[in-house]
Amino acid sequence: MAFPTETVYGLGANALDPDAVKRVYLAKGRPSDNPMIVHIGEKSGLKDLTDLMTRDMELLMDAIWPGPMTMVVPAKDIVPRVTTGGLDTVAIRMPSEETARQLIIKSGLPIAAPSANLSGHPSPTTYRHCMDDLMGRVDAIICGPDCQVGIESTVIDMTGGDDRPPVILRPGIVTAEKISQVIGREVSLDPSLLKKPKIDKTTGNPVTGQDFHPKSPGMKYKHYAPKAEMTIFRGPHDAVLRVIEDRRAKLEAQGLKVSVITYSDSEQETAAREFFARLRECDKDGTDVILASALREEGVGFSVMNRMFKSAGYNIEDVMEDQKMRIAIASDHGGFQLKEKIREYLGEKHPELEVKDLGTYSEESVDYPVYGKLCGETVVKGDADLGIVCCGTGIGISIAANKVKGVRCALVTSVEMAHLAKEHNNANVLALGGRTTQPEEAFAMVEEWLTTEFGGGRHKRRTDLLDEM
């Protein structure tokens, strides 16, 4: 049965009945060495599941339960190994959401519940999310309120007893700072939380090794993944927003559906509450690419970023303050001399630009399609904002660049054409002929193209049509 909790919706079964628990794994399509969290309705229920009781546990239960914190403790024999993911420890939590507590109390049972989604999908924070994933796969879905926390509970390993400090295995809304404050000593973070794991390209799972048995959910398997490709931009917030807007425009020009997820550092709780729901919206509306801004990795921001990084498969781009506009330049042997001169010109006259020289690097004969394509791809991938390509006439290399979807390459032979190439066609690549255009003329054309604004309006309608081709 799917039921609401304050963190995310859970898919619950009698924690003490191995068959019931197996059916949860089955409904979710979940690997069976991933432990489940056992939910209790009263603090007193803890002693039915473990013999351990430490000073830290008492302090934490008093301060935080009922609430979004889970403790990993040695399991009593009564807890089946299928519930613990094969371990001799069990993860226990007392939720604060009233429906959940009533369900547990009225059933008179501890309830094992992972999140009520198909394994690998973003966690469900409304009953509608559960319906989307699990209709027909489970016996019942309780249509309760939307989850107020929005990310899963903080999981703490208490098995060190009073000797070793607790270890956070999964960060949540109850932060390390809060836990340390309650127990009066530092908690440590599981080392896996601080490094970027290697991702297995075929499964999307972190590479952890065969023998790794996770003590907490969220440590071993791919999690929270949207259907769209997702990139996280990390750096000064304003610079990040500029880069995201720029990237969005480029991707939309290629006909892709782009969704942007950004929160400022003052919106950490909102980000936690909404993040999974936003991913699910993207799944529904056919988003191809998600561009997200990173929160500062502190407090709740650390926990939200733990989920975001996993969702994006650790696809992160670091943004510098005031990122320079980047221009890629490329040529074949016929355009080599002109390309070299343009590179020198831009370096002298436009130190505010970053020029990426993609070759060729000598007058030895090479094939212009290779360089046209390379420059075009560099621009549409977002590794450069604009491109300049040169060959003998500019013709061959412009044809090559235009074969790349999203490129609007204009071959120009006058300043007026360079002006219109930007104003009307919003050319993102400029092509010039090394044997047909003198360097000084070429500089004037480049200057005109760089400084002219796109006209928009009817021109936008037409460039949109171009980009759809």
Which residues sit at the interface with ligand RB5, rule CB under 6 A? Answer: 332, 334-335, 368, 391-393, 395-396
Nearest to 196 by CA among 353, 64, 31, 308: 308
Would you state the structure tokens that stand for residue 326, as one six-digit string?
A: 């980047």
Task: Write down the least CB distance from residue 195 to ligand RB5, Å.
Answer: 48
Q: Are 182 and 64 in contact (CB under 8 A)?
A: yes
For tokens 């007392």, name the residue.
94
**Residue number with CB closer to ligand RB5 (117 or 360):** 360
77 among known catalytic residues: no
Please tell me the distance from the alpha carbon of residue 214 to that of residue 190, in angstroms, as a whole number: 11
**Residue number with CB closer to ligand RB5 (144 or 392):** 392
**Residue number with CB closer to ligand RB5 (231 or 436):** 436
Non-local CB neighbours of 332 within 8 Å, separated by 6+ positions: 360, 365, 366, 367, 368, 370, 371, 390, 391, 392, 396, 397
Task: Write down the least CB distance from residue 388 to ligand RB5, Å.
Answer: 15
Query: Which of the following is catalytic: 332, 360, 409, 463?
Result: 332
Query: Which of the following is catalytic: 147, 282, 390, 391?
Result: 391
121 among known catalytic residues: no
Task: Write down the least CB distance from residue 444 to ligand RB5, Å.
Answer: 21
391 among known catalytic residues: yes
Alpha-carbon torsion 235, 236, 240, 242, what sign? negative
Query: Which of the following is catalytic: 237, 350, 419, 424?
Result: 424
Please tell me the distance from the alpha carbon of residue 122 to that of residue 436, in angstroms, as a whole number: 56
Secondary structure (H, E, C), 116-150: CCCCCCCCCCCHHHHHHHHCCCCCCECCCCCCCCC
Task: Write down the least CB distance from residue 338 to ligand RB5, Å.
Answer: 10
424 among known catalytic residues: yes
Nearest to 258 by CA among 467, 402, 455: 467
Query: Which of the following is catalytic: 54, 84, 393, 437?
Result: 393
Burial of 436 (0-12, 13-18, 19+ CB in 10 A): middle
**Residue number with CB closer to ligand RB5 (264 or 438):** 438
**Residue number with CB closer to ligand RB5 (226 or 433):** 433
Task: Write down the least CB distance from residue 398 to ligand RB5, Å.
Answer: 8
The catalytic site residues sit at 332, 391, 393, 424, 459
